[in-house]
Homo-oligomer: A and B are copies of this chain.
Amino acid sequence: MSLVKERRKTRQISVGSVKVGSKSPVSVQSMTNTRTQDVQATIKQILALEKAGCEIVRVAVPDMEAALAIEKIKQDITIPIIADIHFDYRLAIASAKAGVNALRINPGNIGEKKKIKAVVDCAKEHKISIRVGVNAGSLEKNIEKRLGTTAQAMVESALKNIKILEDLDFHDIKVSLKASDVERTVKAYRLLASQTDVPFHVGVTEAGGLYAGITKSAIGIGMLLTEGLGDTMRVSLTRDPVEEIRTGYEILRALGIRSRGPELISCPTCGRCRIDLFKIARETEKALLDHSSKIKVAIMGCVVNGPGEAKEADIGIAGGDGKGILFKKGKVIRKIDQDKLVEQLLMEIENIEIEKSGEN
């Protein structure tokens, strides 16, 4: 039995070619941090994100130039693109006309009802979906005054914004409820779960740098996914967005929900290790980033747990004194000098990948 409960049943929506909802795999998204108006820089970053496995990308649209840039950006990228807009309904309409696949805009922040209706009509016409993106740091003043920046306040804001859209007969909605801490984030999604069938975009916002950011995202998104909550996710890191995608897939893999590329098991080393395992692990990891096969590779410092772990891996090494022992499915193949280890390990991995692809 898996650790992960059955997915919460949701309506199904589309972000371009990607379906979001409980009938579809949990998708992994990110956001560019280039100036959207700088078309070439933005395309370059989106292509790097695509290569890393990003399935939906969001760009900031702070002005009309950024909205118009979307048309050119779309010509060179494959994945669907979402325009991130605050307040200005004209930017939403311009983004839709420029071919954007979805909007992230909170209708409650747009202003007059006729402006909201203009955005919704435009979204209907262009068949694009809308994410209601509630953030504990930017709640409506009247809600915050009454409820503070609590999970309850976030849920109330979400329900209010969803209702505005549904009252206009617009239903292609997903919703996010993000706080910069795990507790409020998890509580907010739990609270909203039974009150709507809108799909959930999950994430912890402003999670921070490498250690705090990965840790908070893994715990927060991880808890939600184990409870069946979450249809698409964004890991937020103060880092290159490609690292958000890597972390997103690591979360999905750790929970057995989805996997992408080889899995590396590697030991922390200890006083027994007589080989530069960190370097070997780093180089192997880097070389395997582009691989799409789902093989399991064990990189172990010594023979205490090495052969045992290697048994469960397709291939592995265990360090000796300046040498490594190469294992395949737990069977010793040969000894290899430390300076040839990565090269030979990668060669053997490629052989296994060729064998495996032949099996299909």
Q: Are A3 and B223 in contact (CB under 8 A)?
A: yes
Q: Report 10 cross-chain contacts, Cβ distance below 8 Å, ordered by A residue.
A: A35-B271, A60-B271, A135-B308, A205-B267, A206-B305, A209-B282, A211-B243, A219-B219, A222-B222, A236-B267
Q: List chain B residues, Cβ under 8 A from A269.
A: 33, 238
In the complex, A237→B220 CA distance in Å? 20
Copies of chain A in the complex: 2
* Residue in A209, A270, A272, A305 whose Cβ sees the most chain B Cβ within 10 Å: A270
Which residue from chain B places its CB closest to the CB of A312 in the assembled complex? B149
Which residue from chain B places its CB closest to the CB of A221 in the assembled complex? B219
Cβ contact of A209, chosen from B58, B62, B285, cutoff 8 A: B285
Given contact pairs A33-B269, A61-B271, A214-B215, a sample of 16 additional A-B residue pairs in the complex whose CB atoms are under 8 Å apart:
A33-B268, A33-B270, A36-B271, A137-B311, A138-B305, A205-B267, A209-B264, A209-B282, A210-B210, A211-B214, A212-B253, A215-B218, A215-B251, A222-B222, A223-B223, A238-B277
CB proximity of A96 to chain B, nearest CB, Å: 18
Contact (A183, B298) CB under 8 Å given A215-B250, A219-B218? no
Residues A130-189 near B (CB distance < 8 A): 135-139, 149, 180-183, 186-187
Q: Are B299 and A238 in contact (CB under 8 A)?
A: yes
Residues of A near any B CB (own CB < 8 A): 2-3, 31-37, 42, 58-62, 66, 84, 86, 135-139, 149, 180-183, 186-187, 205-206, 208-216, 218-220, 222-223, 226, 236-239, 241, 243-244, 246-247, 250-251, 253-256, 263-273, 277-278, 281-282, 285, 298-300, 304-305, 308-309, 311-312
Cβ contact of A305, chosen from B135, B182, B256, cutoff 8 A: B135
* Residue in A3, A58, A273 whose Cβ sees the most chain B Cβ within 10 Å: A3
Q: List chain B residues, Cβ under 8 A from A33.
A: 268-271, 273
Q: Are A59 and B182 in contact (CB under 8 A)?
A: no
Contact (A239, B212) CB under 8 Å given A33-B273, A86-B304, A256-B183? no
Contact (A255, B182) CB under 8 Å given A218-B219, A266-B208? yes
Q: List chain B residues, Cβ under 8 A from A223.
A: 3, 222-223, 226
Q: Are A187 and B268 in contact (CB under 8 A)?
A: no
Which residue from chain B places its CB closest to the CB of A300 in the assembled complex? B206
In the complex, A268→B296 CA distance in Å? 31
Q: List chain B residues, Cβ under 8 A from A254.
A: 181-182, 212, 215-216, 219-220
